[in-house]
């Protein structure tokens, strides 16, 4: 096949899983990553899984000259998948400029420099673009509310920029709106490496089970949901990675129906925080130390996707369920502990 894909943020959590799936589907991969929230040993792990070692550029996409150099050296790509971005929602509320600067400048640099080198672009978007949900399940046509964080704003703005650039006939874009990515590769060789104390539920659960965190706090059990805890649409990171391969195939085969397309990537099934905790305990045969605390500000009671468009148009469907997610998350956390890879 020999189609070439540039994966920015390719050593990060979702990026590394996508690189593995791309390589296993016959794509050649070039990675650009500044290692700001990833580790270089992930490249070795990718090689261990796939027996292939992608070319790696350690560059900051906010430096236009570095991006130009990359395109001068590599000439052309069939697709660019753009993951590289800051993603800590809470931090973005405290340091909004850091997020606008990094996430928007890197996107603009890529779009300017890719001209003449690539026409297909897959954007790492997020369910966070919906803001406070206006209807459930969330459809791609559901109106977007004001973003609740600067991080969310950068994803809304990113989509807006890409839609306009695509309409001008410069690029073909697929934006994938991820719901809650969790789990790890079944080999336990790659997974999420949270910087400091994790903010997201599954890494916090796994670290509590490992004893790295003393206690998990369930943020509120007085929501208007069946068990009172918040409902989210958790999606296995390998299923999510495969959605990117399907998107690349769609662009390479010119099957896209318009220059700008957007898809929800979730399972379509909402699970409560308590259901996740109970499943983690049951499947991994352990007890979690948790308490019920106050609500976390900015949390919506329920967020889950309508995945009909991804099924029928993109022809992608999640194959893994919450049992796979909690088992793989725990296997990865256990492997981290055993191998002490946190260099």
Q: What is the DSSP string of 45-71?
A: HHHHHHS---EEE---TT-HHHHHHHH
Q: Is 151 a catalytic residue?
A: yes
Is 22 a binding residue for ligand WQD by CB under 6 A? The answer is: no
Cα separation of 256 and 250, whole Å?
6
- For residues 206 and 216, is the Cβ–Cβ distance under 8 A? no
Among 70, 150, 273, 326, binds ligand WQD (CB under 6 A): 273
Among 199, 225, 302, 334, binds ligand WQD (CB under 6 A): 199
Measuring CA to CA, which residue among 240, 234, 320, 193 is closest to residue 18? Answer: 240
Cα separation of 135 and 112, whole Å?
36
Show the site string, 281-300: x = touches ligand WQD by CB under 6 A, - = not: ---------------x--x-
CB of 174 to ligand WQD, least distance (A): 17
CB of 179 to ligand WQD, least distance (A): 7
CB of 210 to ligand WQD, least distance (A): 15
Phi/psi at 256 (5° precision): -65, 145
Cα separation of 99 and 207, whole Å?
27
Structure tokens that stand for 326 in this block: 């909690």
Q: Active site residue: 13, 99, 130, 151, which one?
A: 151
Nearer to ligand WQD, 54 or 181 (CB): 181
Nearer to ligand WQD, 45 or 232 (CB): 232
CB of 343 to ligand WQD, least distance (A): 25
Binding window for ligand WQD (CB under 6 A); candidates: 101-109, 114-122, 212-220, 263-271: 212-220
Under rule CB under 6 A, which residues in 115-174 are in contact with ligand WQD?
126, 128
Burial class (CB in 10 A: 0-12, 13-18, 19+), 63: middle
Cα separation of 215 and 204, whole Å?
9
Among 201, 238, 271, 329, binds ligand WQD (CB under 6 A): 201
SS3 letters for 195-238? CCCCCCHHHHHHHHHHCCCCCEEEECCCCCCCCCCCEECEEEHH
Phi/psi at 211 (5° precision): 90, 5
Among 25, 95, 142, 200, binds ligand WQD (CB under 6 A): 200
Cα separation of 235 and 119, whole Å?
29
Is 219 a binding residue for ligand WQD by CB under 6 A? The answer is: yes
Cα separation of 170 and 98, whole Å?
28
Residue closest to ligand WQD, measured at CB: 230
Show the site string, 299-338: x = touches ligand WQD by CB under 6 A, - = not: x---------------------------------------
Under rule CB under 6 A, which residues in 44-83 are in contact with ligand WQD?
none
Nearer to ligand WQD, 56 or 123 (CB): 123
Binding window for ligand WQD (CB under 6 A); candidates: 3-11, 101-109, 211-219, 330-338: 211-219
Cα separation of 44 and 21, whole Å?
15
CB of 337 to ligand WQD, least distance (A): 20
Show the site string, 176-195: x = touches ligand WQD by CB under 6 A, - = not: --x-x---------------
Is 89 a binding residue for ligand WQD by CB under 6 A? The answer is: yes
Range 110-126 burial, b when 16+ CB lie within 10 A, else e: bbebbeebbbbbbbbbb
Catalytic (active-site) positions: 151
Q: Where along the sequence are the contacts to ligand WQD (CB under 6 A)?
A: 87, 89, 126, 128, 178, 180, 199-201, 204, 216-219, 230, 232, 273, 296, 299
């Amino acid at each position: 096949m020999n189609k070439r894909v540039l994966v920015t943020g390719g050593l990060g959590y979702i990026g590394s899983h996508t690189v593995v799936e791309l390589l296993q589907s016959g794509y050649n991969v070039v990675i650009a990553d500044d290692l700001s929230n990833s580790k270089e040993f992930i490249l070795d792990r990718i090689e261990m899984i796939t027996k292939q070692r992608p070319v790696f550029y350690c560059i900051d996409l906010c430096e236009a000259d570095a991006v130009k150099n990359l395109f001068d050296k590599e000439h052309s790509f069939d697709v660019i998948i753009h993951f590289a971005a800051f993603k800590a929602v809470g931090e973005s509320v405290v340091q909004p400029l850091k997020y606008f600067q990094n996430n928007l400048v890197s996107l603009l640099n890529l779009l300017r420099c890719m001209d003449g080198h690539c026409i297909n672009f897959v954007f790492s978007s997020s369910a966070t673009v919906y803001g406070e949900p206006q209807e459930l399940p969330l459809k791609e046509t559901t109106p977007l509310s004001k973003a609740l964080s600067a991080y969310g704003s950068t994803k809304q703005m990113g989509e807006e920029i890409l839609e306009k650039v695509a309409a001008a006939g410069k690029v073909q874009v697929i934006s994938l709106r991820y719901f809650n990515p969790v789990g790890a590769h079944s080999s336990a060789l790659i997974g999420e490496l949270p910087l400091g104390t994790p903010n997201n539920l599954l890494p916090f659960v796994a670290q509590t089970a490992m004893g790295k965190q003393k206690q998990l706090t369930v943020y509120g059990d007085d929501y208007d949901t069946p068990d009172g805890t918040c409902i989210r649409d958790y999606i296995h990171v390998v299923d999510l990675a495969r959605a990117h391969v399907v998107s690349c195939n769609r662009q390479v085969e010119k099957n896209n129906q318009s220059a700008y397309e957007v898809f929800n990537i979730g399972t379509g099934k909402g699970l409560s925080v308590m259901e996740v905790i109970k499943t983690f305990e049951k499947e991994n045969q352990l007890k979690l130390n948790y308490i019920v605390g106050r609500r976390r500000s900015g949390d919506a009671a329920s967020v889950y996707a309508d995945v009909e468009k991804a099924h029928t148009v993109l022809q992608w469907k999640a194959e893994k369920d919450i049992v796979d997610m909690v088992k793989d998350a725990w296997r990865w956390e256990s492997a981290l502990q055993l191998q002490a890879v946190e260099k």
